[in-house]
Structure 1
Amino acid sequence: MIDDTKKKMKRMQSNRESARRSRMRKQKRFEDLTSEVRELQIVNSRIVESVNGREEAMVEIESMNNFLRVEAIEMTCRLRALDLVLQIQDDANAVAFDVRDPLLEPWQLNQQKQPPPPLMAADYGTFLV
């Protein structure tokens, strides 16, 4: 009986030690998983920040792209208008006539003006009332 009791006590001691090691492994595993969760949360927050930054950059790029599209349309319209002006000018140059418009060429106004004739004594009386 004493041997049985010793064996039983030894087995109980061995089981307690095994249970203690199991709890320690379980605690270690829990700490490792907790640490991994913290690391993954940090990585996740960095990824979220990166995605948000890229979304903001994409919005800016889309805005700039829309602006450039509108500007391209405007420039195309201006180019067409200038082409039309050049076409009209070419058509006008094809017709051989010279029209001098003093409003278009104001420097010619001075050349065309002649000084007024001097006032005569007879003309002076017409100004008196």
Structure 2
Amino acid sequence: MVLPSNLIVPNSTKGVSASTNPKTSSSGRVITQQSSGSEKDPNQIIDKRKHKRMIANRESARKPRLRKQQHLDELNTDADYFRAENNMLFTKLNIVSHNYMQLQEENSLLRSHAMDLSHKLQSLNIKMQWEGVMHGLDLTSSDGFVHPIPMDMKSWYL
């Protein structure tokens, strides 16, 4: 059988260009005919629709991945910020705790010193009262402390 020059006989249906119309011969072989620019191939239209849908699906899948990656980047940035702030707060807490401990030690020392001075004052008051009793003077006041002797009595007391 001799085929016209405008017919193409491929070995299989694969590799048929998108611009051809498949037809089968009496032997079952696919015969494709070159289509003119005005004819629309239904397979070509379906392939274009599939291709457009595939591109749209890829784009639709890409957008959520980009949003997810952007959200993850923002969360990582926030986490880095909060780690830095946490470290700064721990540093401040350590400084304040150290200062608090120093002030507690100083306060304890000052209280001890004040108590020592109070005991010395009580001891001196008791001693002065004894001296006054021995010399016939009452040097105590209503508050229980010994007050300074007036100037005119100092010369007599000494």
* Range class of TM-score, shorter chain: 0.5 to 0.7
Question: Cα distance, 1:19 vs. partner?
Answer: 1.4
Segments ≥4 residues shifted beyond 4 Å: none
How far did residue 65 of structure 1 move? 1.1
Alignment match, 2:83: 41
TM-score by length of 1: 0.67
The number of equivalent residue pairs is 95
Alignment of 1:23-102 (within 5 A): 23-94=65-136
Q: What are the ranges of 5 or more consecutive residues in structure 2 without an aligned counterpart?
A: 1-41, 138-158
Note the C-alpha offset of 1:42. 0.8
Structure 1's unaligned 5+ residue stretches are: 96-129
- Larger RCO (CA within 8 A; separation ≥ 6): 2
| Percent identity over paired residues | 26
Q: Looking at CA atoms only, which structure, 1 or 2, has the larger radius of gyration?
A: 2
Structure 2 match to 1:17: 59
Return the alpha-carbon distance in structure 1 between the equivalents of residues 56 and 111 of structure 2. Answer: 80
Counterpart of 1:84 in 2: which secondary structure?
helix
Of Structure 1 and Structure 2, which has the larger fraction of its residues in strand? Answer: 2
- Aligned Cα root-mean-square deviation (Å): 1.6
The CA distance in 1 between the partners of 2:46 and 2:127, in whole Å, is 118
Greater helix fraction, Structure 1 or Structure 2:
1
